[in-house]
Chains A and B, each alone.
Chain A
Amino acid sequence: MSAVKDTFEAKVLAKSSAKPVLNRSVDFLSSVRFGVFLLIILVILSIVGMVIIQQNVQGFDSYFASLTPAERTVYGSLGLFDIYHSWYYNFLLLILSLNIILASIDRFPTAWSYLVSPKVKATKDWLLNQKAHSSITLTADTEADAAEKIKALFESDRYKTVITESKTTEYGQNADGKKDFSNVITRRQLTVFGEAGKYNRLGAYIVHVALLTLFIGHFVALQSGFDADVRMIPGDESDQIQMIQFNLDKRERFNVQLPFSIKTTDIQQKLIDPKGSIDVPNTLDWRTQIKITDPEYGETVADVSLNKPFSYRGYRFFQASAITMGSARNIDLQLTSQADGSQKQLSIPRNGAASLPDGTYVEYEEFLPDFVFGAEGKPDTRSGEYNNPVAVLGVTPPGGERTRVFAFAGNIAENIPVGAPKLGYKWRLADYEKSPFAHVLSIKYDPYNGAFIAWYFGGIGLMAALVFVFAFSHRRVWAVIEPNQFGSYAATIGGDTNRNDAAFEERFAKMIDKLEK
């Protein structure tokens, strides 16, 4: 190590150790170097969380079962099964936020000074030390004319300009060529200063503010809200929803009281092939119609579709999943009269009813997709598939008693009781609109709209700020104009930028070329 470097480092050490511990701690916490270190730790922990399957991810159960007891104990005690909610991960995010805040506070005054007190003066030597610089000789009637020409040049390249007159002082030389301190020479100097995009200096701070907004909004949403599921069976009404908490391979469910009740009035599954299955690949959309009865605000009817949630008093309702036990949203019945063989058509919505011209009242009672007689000989369904669908109806003839009737889609022998004509008709299920037994809605409670603030203000703000930061830069140029001994003027032009040096230098060259032409 050279002596010069030794001395320099000793000075730096002496300077830093002379600072109070608190100041040194704050310096450390606000350093970009510490921020980069935190980023690396965050990256490592996040990768650990990707490699070790997390407890809320599908497939965790079999993964957990495949681990040895020792692995479960070690991973569990280190919080690796739920690393993103562990105390140390949250602590790391907190420290990173602190680092961002402190680093921003530490550096903001410097950035602000670019805005409020731009460096309008420069010296020739300083300009010659800039990466992009040029020396020009130009004739002009006056120094002011020369300055105006340079000013016009800067303005043609979209710089905002200002001309400053200043005095420079230097010492003359004696006969030996050394500085003569008794000979003070004062010169008048014109400096043309131009700058563009100065607000770009604040870009990094806007990025960090957006990032903090995102963190805080997300934190508020997590702390003040919750997620829950509710099963939506047409006709059912409830003022409770079920919250699920993961605890390794166990799911604990809690009921949460709502300030209103929700009734499912209709569920629909739009299928690609209406005759196909109600599985996910054959599905275009799920739609649930709900009616909210609120003691404070009365009744509200709403639709919840996939990717089209519904918001109500801080609660958002989303389509989550479906219970794919086959059912029917609507049934079309074909009735053949035993008396004259005439046919009648009847269409009934789920849980609905319709009347025949003779006054017979037909109610939709139940839909069994795969009819079978159960263990006790009662009608039941073998599976959720539409293998042998039957609509179970409650039929009340005028003045008669309500009778249970089975309308099959397929052929069934008339000599067995469920297939026999009843109340003067042969009942047949002509068609039906497939729909699942129930939908499951996910309900997100976010009373302060934390997620919205986080991602719309913070997230979109971050995107805009990044465009603001990277799309342009703070460019500065100076020209020092001095008369020379030939009666013309020498202009020393130089400039710098805070970002993208290569592009700036290219632009600078182009500007000087323009002056030549």
Chain B
Amino acid sequence: MAQVISTEKIYAAEAVRPSSWTSYLPAILAIVGSLGMLLLRIEIGQRFISDGALMMIALACYIFAALFQLTNLYAPSEMARKIGLWSAALGVFFNLSSWLVRWVGAYDWEIAKMRASGNMEQPWVFRYIPFANLYDLSLAFAFGAGIATLLLARRRNFQVLAAFTLPLAALILTLARFIGGEFIDLPPVLDSYWRPIHVGVASLSYGVALVCFAIAVIYLLKDKAKVEAMAIWSSVFGLAVIATISKFSVLTELIYRSGIFLPNDGGGKPFSAPFRLEVPWVGEALVIAAILLLGVIVSFLVYIYQQNETARSVGHALLKLSLVAQVVAIALLIGGIRGMGDVPAKLTSQLAADPSQYVTAGRALAERQQLSAAEYAALSPIQLEQMGRQYVQMNGERLYLSLNTNPVEVAGLLTALAGTFFVILFAFRTDKLRERLPSLKSLDGLMYKTACLAFAGLAMLLITGAIWANESWGRPWGFDSKETGALVAWLTYAGFLHTRISRGWTGRSSAYFAIVGFLLVIFTYLGVSYLLPGLHSYA
């Protein structure tokens, strides 16, 4: 009979023991609990808490959880860790509850309309699954990121990930808040069983890509990437946001103009007016922020390429000032939009000072009419101005401002602010922070796993979309902007995986690929919907 006397072990892996089933408890409880909320919504009816309120609670939980995980990172505490973990679980619970409650809400909303008009038809329940527009997708996207974080957090050394992923999930929910959660009349082509499959896969794979991105950032931080280099990239992003919002008017005219809404008489989502209205002082504050961000970039470039310590100190001071300037600009924007009274009068006086805005608005109106190239070219500036003036005459008195008119702009500014904040945070006791992050090897392994999942998820997204398109209109692939965007992101993750084989690119090189891949995912998710025309413009 054989018997072991001694063992001598050398494992390359960290001494991490697999955790028991109880480590899945936060994720399980979050999902089971939200199913309970669904049942309660069905039982109680419309008196139950709204999906919008649940979404806001989820947003608060994500921020709360991230704060406690950050606290645990800088000042390790078992209590902070536990609060962080269970707040994250609560965030996922409220996030999923919001999405499920919205499903019932959408059903009630349309059925009420049908019954009021005497239509007794009973459409199938999947018609109302909340995958109808960008608001719904954002809820699901944040849930995808939240549940992926919870599943990874079953290992204690990966719980720190929540400090990086949950702020991103919170930003997505903030974007959803600004998009607005009004129910929409579902475009009939979306009434297919492929929709939950296709969009469900999209939201989960986007969520995994977000986690992969967060791991890549942590990897760079652990790998002693200079915080100053990160500050340059976050400042470039901030500058790009400031330069492009308000149709490029901030840096060219020192003015920020907000979009305007026209109420929808049908009770649905309001219409965007073809005009924008100046919000006082926001342009000036954003220009100051832009100048400071530019100063950050220059100072840190000098530091990196000339090892100039003075430039480094100046750069950090400018970075902190830019954070203050961004906070002030966002506060002025929110306060300005909320406090703006008598929009019609202000718009009229703005247009009187600059009548060329009528022509711009007329052009936007002409584009909405889908005129042919010849018809469009035949429109004279006078005709365009006339179209703009007619619009103001007909609708001017009903126009109003809302934060929801510019969801991508507000979310872009908040993301830039969060980027600056995190870089300042990373610059604080950086070495201590690095010590407490998981090892490079385990981060690289996790990054690879999540990239594989994101790659497989995006492949499924593309294929289910193509099969749906083939079933619905016989054209599986048409190089629609969103299709192409998802293809480009998928190809980037393919590049991630293949460069690991061909060039042995692991670690930092892989991290750069993961970051580019996620940026392309975000471009597909937002940029395509708001900037480019195509079949997916509703989502």
**A residues bordering B, Cβ < 8 Å?**
31-33, 35-36, 39-40, 42-43, 46-47, 49-51, 53-54, 56-59, 61-62, 64-66, 84, 131-141, 145-146, 148-149, 218, 227, 249, 270-276, 280-286, 306-307, 309, 316, 318-320, 442-444, 446, 451-452, 454-456, 459-460, 462-463, 466-467, 470, 488-489, 500-503, 505-506, 508-510, 512, 515-516
Contact = CB atoms under 8 A, between A and B. Distances in A.
A138 B8 CA distance: 12
A273 B15 CA distance: 64
Given A46-B484, A131-B12, 20 more contacts: A42-B491, A50-B485, A56-B478, A61-B373, A62-B366, A62-B373, A65-B373, A134-B8, A135-B7, A146-B2, A227-B474, A281-B187, A284-B121, A284-B123, A285-B188, A309-B471, A444-B475, A505-B12, A506-B11, A508-B11
A512 B9 contact: yes
A146 B453 CA distance: 41
B4 A470 contact: no
Closest 7 CB pairs of A and B: A505-B13, A444-B474, A32-B502, A281-B185, A140-B2, A502-B445, A131-B12
B376 interface: yes
B28 interface: no
Nearest to B189: A306
B472 interface: yes
B399 interface: no
Contact of A272 (B3, B119, B370): B119
Contacts of A446: 474
A506 B119 contact: no
Nearest to A59: B533
Interface string B472-503: 11111111110011011001101100110111
B441 interface: yes
B191 A285 contact: yes
B349 interface: no
11 contacts: A46-B487, A59-B367, A61-B371, A61-B376, A62-B373, A218-B477, A271-B119, A274-B119, A282-B185, A505-B13, A512-B7
Contacts of A516: 4, 7
B47 interface: no
Interface residues of B, number: 87
A466 B475 contact: no
Contacts of B532: 50-51, 53
Nearest to A281: B185
Contact of A470 (B371, B456, B499): B456
A322 B401 CA distance: 36
A179 B168 CA distance: 64
B129 interface: no
B393 interface: no
Contacts of B3: 138-140
Contact of B13 (A281, A284, A451, A506): A506
Nearest to A502: B445
Contacts of B484: 46-47, 49-50, 84
Nearest to A138: B4
A500 B376 contact: no
B185 A39 contact: no
A451 B473 CA distance: 12
Contact of B185 (A61, A218, A272, A470): A272
Contacts of A47: 484, 488
B110 interface: yes
A271 B442 CA distance: 56
A197 to B, nearest CB: 15
Contacts of A50: 481, 484-485, 488, 528, 532
Contacts of A218: 476-477
Contacts of B466: 455, 459
B459 interface: yes
A62 B371 contact: yes
A281 B123 CA distance: 15
A43 B189 contact: no
A137 B472 contact: no
A462 B462 CA distance: 11
A506 B474 CA distance: 48
Contact of B113 (A54, A273, A467): A273
B279 interface: no
B219 interface: no
A152 to B, nearest CB: 9
Contact of B474 (A58, A148, A275, A318): A318
Contacts of B119: 271-274
Interface in B1-42: 1-16, 18
Interface in B486-530: 487-488, 491-492, 494-495, 498-499, 501-503, 528
